[in-house]
Amino acid sequence: MSMPAIVLVVAVLAALTARRSLGGGLLGRLRALLPAWRFFDAIEPTPRLCVRVIRPGDSPGRWIDVMPKPKGGFFLASDRNLVLAMYALVERLVSSDEDAPDAPGIAVTYAQITELARERARLELGDSGLFQWCITDHQGARLERARSEFLPI
């Protein structure tokens, strides 16, 4: 059966089936304009990016969670979009296939997270010393495969 024939059969079946009334003239029209924004059943907690710094002659400092909380409005929220992009970047590294650490794009993701952590380490802790980043789950447990070496700030 060809594609146009399949489309024709589906169109005829759709035309013959009974239609359900939305009810309420104006309300029914408004419901057609507003989509149902329930894409997921529940939102799971996201992994967190933590940074620590070691200054010359010191031991490593404590881990600091550097992921900001999304704030802002719904429209024209460029800051919120940036924060959500940071979360997506961390989730991408965590969800990458363990069997393919050299998969295309993983090195780029690793480098982007390193730069994000470096920027956050400068903001939180200054310009001197070395920093290290790790990704923790939502309960604070470190995910060992998502951890850097000590790197210069």
| Residues, the chain | 153
| Closest to 106 (Cα-Cα) out of 96, 98, 116 | 96
Q: Where is 147: in which H helix or E strand?
A: strand 142-147
In contact, 63 and 134? CB cutoff 8 Å:
yes
Give the residue with greater pLDDT, 73 vs 56.
Answer: 56
Compute the average pLDDT of residues 148-152. Answer: 87
The C-alpha atoms of residue 27 and residue 23 are separated, in whole angstroms, by: 7
The C-alpha atoms of residue 58 and residue 16 are separated, in whole angstroms, by: 78
Give the residue with greater pLDDT, 112 vs 69.
Answer: 112
User: What is the C-alpha R_g of the chain?
Assistant: 24
Q: Which 8-state DSSP code applies to residue 96?
A: S
Give the residue with greater pLDDT, 121 vs 26.
Answer: 121
> Which residues does residue 130 pair with via DSSP β-bridges, in sequence order?
54, 152
Asked if pLDDT for residue 113 goes beyond 70, the answer is yes
Q: What is the pLDDT of residue 18?
A: 60
Q: What is the pLDDT of residue 25?
A: 66
The C-alpha atoms of residue 108 and residue 93 are separated, in whole angstroms, by: 10
CA 76-82-84 angle, 5° bins: 100
The C-alpha atoms of residue 112 and residue 82 are separated, in whole angstroms, by: 13
